[in-house]
Amino acid sequence: MATHYAYSGPIDCTQEPNVNNVKDKMVIVTGGSHGIGAVYARTLVQAGAYVMIGDLDTKSGEALAGTLQEGRVFVSRCDVNSWDEQVKLFDEAISRSPTGRVDAVVVNAGIATTDGIFADDSEQDYPTKPSVRILDVNLIGGMYTIKLALYHFRRQYRRDLAAGKEASDTSLIIQSSMAGYLDMPGSLLYAASKFGLRAAMASLRHTTPQHRTRVNLIAPWFINTGMIPEHFMDLIASKGIAWASVQDAAGALIAIIANPLVNGRSFAVVPRKWAPRGYLDIDQDDLKEGDRLGEWQGLLLSLGDELANLN
Ligand SMILES: NC(=O)c1ccc[n+]([C@@H]2O[C@H](COP(=O)([O-])OP(=O)(O)OC[C@H]3O[C@@H](n4cnc5c(N)ncnc54)[C@H](O)[C@@H]3O)[C@@H](O)[C@H]2O)c1
C-alpha cells in the first residue's frame, strides 16, 4: 500500500471479496449487540475472525455470542461516551486476541433520537436546553474509538518494525450514513454526527497509510433495525421507498477488511436495484477535474506531512 492517499477512481464492488483475508483477525465492533453491529459480528465470525463487542447491552451481546462458535466473540460492557470504558474495551480485545493484536476496529455504535435543536418550542416563554446525546454517542464516542484505534495500530506498527518484521495491515472502518451525504430535514444532530465522522475519514486517509492503517467509511441507506422508529418505518413504507439490507452492510464491511488496497473510500449500502451486491463505492469524497475547490485542496495537501505534524 502507498504511504499516502492518492485518488485512483472508485473501487469495483461487484467482485466477491477474498474472505480468507479476514480469517483470525481480531475485530472490535462498538454497538455490536444489536442491529447492523450484531450482523457485522456474526458475519465476521463466520469468516473466521475474532470479535470483541463493546456495547451498553451485554446481555444481548452474550446471547449473540452463544449462537456463534465458542471462543470467537467476546463482550465488554462499554458506553462509547466513556473514555475509560473504551480504554478497557481495547485492553480486553488485546488480552483476548490470540496474536495480542487488534487488526480492525468498526466505529459503529450510534443512536438516532428526536432532535432537540430542531424542535420548535417557540410557543414557550423560554427555550428548552436541548439534549446533544446524539453528538455525545455518535461523534464524541466515535472519536474516542478512533483515537484508541490509532493509538494501538501505531504501537503495533512500531513493535513490528522493532522486531524487524513487515508491518501488518490494520483497518479502521467508520459507520457514517447517507445522512453524512444527503440533506436530512429535521435531523441536524444526527446529520452533523455523520458528516463529522465522514470528515474524520477524509482527514485521516492521508496519514494513516504511514503506519499501514487503512481508514474507510460505510454509509448505509435505510436499514430496518431497532434504531428506526415505527412512525419513520410507516413513512418510508407509505412512499414505497426500498430498504437496504443488513447482510449487504456486512458484505461491505468484509469487502473493506479483506482488500488491503482499499483506503480512503466510502461504501454506500443501498437496495440491490442500485448495486448488484448491495454496496458500492459512493465516490463523493474526492474533488474531480474542474472543481472549483480542487486548487485550494491541492494547496492544502502541498503542505504535506508538515501540516499534519503541526499537531
Ligand atoms: N439502521 C439504519 O438505517 C442506519 C442507516 C445509516 C447508518 N446507521 C448507523 O449504523 C449504526 C448502527 O445502527 P443500527 O441501525 O444497527 O442501530 P441499533 O439501534 O439496532 O443498534 C445500535 C447498537 O448500539 C448500541 N449502543 C447505543 N448507544 C451506545 C453507547 N453509548 N455505547 C455503546 N453502545 C451503544 C446499542 O445498544 C445497540 O446494540 C449507527 O451508527 C447508525 O447511526 C444506521
Domain at 79, CATH number:
3.40.50.720
- Whether the per-residue pLDDT at 127 is higher than 80: the answer is yes
Q: Which atom of ligand 1 is nearest to the CA of 33?
A: 39
- Whether 276 maps to a domain, the answer reads yes
Q: How confident is the model at residue 304 (pLDDT cuts 50, 70, 90)?
A: confident
pLDDT of residue 306: 83
Residue whose CA lies nearest to ligand 1 atom number 42: 110
Coil vs helix vs strand at 30: strand
What cell numbers appear for 129 in the block?
436546553
Instruction: Evaluate whether residue 59 is within a structural domain.
Output: yes
Measured in angstroms, how far is the CA atom of residue 104 from the centroid of ligand 1? 18
Give the dihedral sign, CA 102/201/9/166: negative
pLDDT band at residue 208 using 50, 70 and 90 as cut-offs: very high
Residue 309 confidence (pLDDT) above 90:
no
Rounded Cα gap, residues 148 and 235, in angstroms: 39
Global pTM value: 0.98
> pLDDT category, 289, cuts 50, 70, 90?
confident
- Tell me what the mean pLDDT of segment 223-238 comes to: 93
Percent over 70 (pLDDT), the chain: 100
**Which one is predicted more confidently, 4 or 81?**
81
E strands, the chain, where? 26-30, 50-55, 73-77, 104-107, 170-175, 213-220, 266-269, 279-281
In a domain, residue 285? The reply is yes
Domain extent for 262: 19-308
5 located within any domain: no
Q: Is residue 205 part of a domain?
A: yes
CA distance 58 to 84: 17
Region of residue 111 (phi > 0: left; psi between -120 and 50: alpha; otherwise: beta): beta
Q: Would you state the pLDDT for residue 308? A: 85
Express each pLDDT in 14-52 by its tens digit.
999 999 999 999 999 999 999 999 999 999 999 999 999
pLDDT reading at 115 higher than 90: yes
Coil/strand/helix, residue 268:
strand
- Say if ligand 1 is within 6 A of residue 226 CB: yes
pLDDT at residue 311 in the model: 75
Q: Phi/psi at 172 (nearest 5 deg)?
A: -115, 120
Band of residue 195 on the pLDDT scale cut at 50, 70, 90: very high
Please state the rounded mean pLDDT for residues 161-165: 97
Residue 225, ligand 1, Cβ within 6 A: yes
On whether residue 4 sits in a domain, the answer given is no
> Rounded mean pLDDT of 166-181?
98
Beta bridge partners of 127: none
Measure Cα distances from 130 to 107, 115, 119, 198, 205 in Å: 25, 8, 9, 24, 33
Ligand 1 within 6 A of 174 CB?
no
pLDDT attached to residue 2 = 79
Domain assignment of residue 63, yes or no: yes
* Confidence band for 4, pLDDT divided at 50, 70 and 90: confident
Closest C-alpha to ligand 1, atom 1: 223
Q: Cβ of 166: how many Cβ atoms within 10 Å? A: 8
Cβ(206)–Cβ(5) under 8 Å? yes
Domains in the chain, number: 1
Atom of ligand 1 nearest to the CA of 228: 1
Ligand 1 centroid, distance to 152 Cα (angstroms): 24
Does residue 10 lie within any of the structural domains? no
Give residue 42's pLDDT: 98
Average pLDDT score over residue span 82-94 = 98
Distance CA 198, CA 195 (A): 5
Residue 216 has a pLDDT of: 98
Residue-level pLDDT at 236: 93
Ligand 1 pocket test: which of 28, 36, 194, 218 has the largest number of ligand atoms within 8 Å of its C-beta? 36
